[in-house]
């Protein structure tokens, strides 16, 4: 069990560019979540997958954001036409339906800076 991994750890981009982040969940976990965290605040939910199905999306997930989880394994989060307000830490978490407590385990995050 190597934990949840995210890549890249840091991303600096210019306004208007597209960026893509990757999350690899704990291998036996079938649920995967994306959250966004700005400085001094708690994380805010963006979206959630069970296997390859995207089951819930927050209103925060504007049409510039898209998330995928092909084959129910890793997931990608793409932001198109980035804006300075997109600067934040993007956190991925995973959990298992086989465990009654459904504890979410978080990755180290990808810090995005939009110049």
Partner 1 sequence: KQEVTQIPAALSVPEGENLVLNCSFTDSAIYNLQWFRQDPGKGLTSLLLIQSSQREQTSGRLNASLDKSSGRSTLYIAASQPGDSATYLCAVTDTGRRALTFGSGTRLQVQP
Tokens of 95: 């959990």
Q: Does 43 bind partner 1 (CB under 8 A)?
A: yes
How many residues line the site for partner 1 (CB under 8 A)?
29
b/e for 71-104, b at 16 or more Cβ within 10 A?
eeebbebebeebeeebbbbbbbbbbbeeeeeeeb
Eight-class DSSP state of 71:
G
Rounded least distance, CB 16 to partner 1, Å: 26
Toward partner 1, which CB reaches closer, 82 or 110? Answer: 110
How many whole angstroms separate alpha carbon 63 and alpha carbon 60?
A: 9
Select the residue interacting with partner 1 from 11, 23, 24, 33 (CB under 8 A). Answer: 33
Select the residue interacting with partner 1 from 62, 73, 103, 113 (CB under 8 A). Answer: 103
Interface region with partner 1, contact rule CB under 8 A, candidates 16-24, 47-55, 61-69, 70-78: 47-55
Chain centre to alpha carbon of residue 107: 9
Contact set with partner 1 (CB under 8 A):
4, 31, 33, 35, 40-45, 48, 50, 55-56, 58, 91, 93, 95, 100-109, 111
């Amino acid at each position: 069990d190597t934990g949840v991994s995210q890549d890249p750890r840091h991303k600096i981009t210019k306004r208007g560019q597209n960026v893509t982040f990757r999350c690899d969940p704990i291998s036996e976990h079938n649920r995967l979540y994306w959250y966004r965290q700005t400085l001094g605040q708690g994380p805010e939910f963006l979206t959630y997958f069970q296997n390859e199905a995207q089951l819930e999306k927050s209103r925060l997930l504007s049409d510039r954001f898209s998330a995928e989880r092909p084959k129910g394994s890793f997931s990608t989060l793409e932001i198109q036409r980035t804006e300075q307000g997109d600067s934040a830490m993007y956190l991925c978490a995973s959990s298992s339906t086989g465990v009654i407590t459904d504890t979410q385990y978080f990755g180290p995050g990808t810090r995005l800076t939009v110049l």
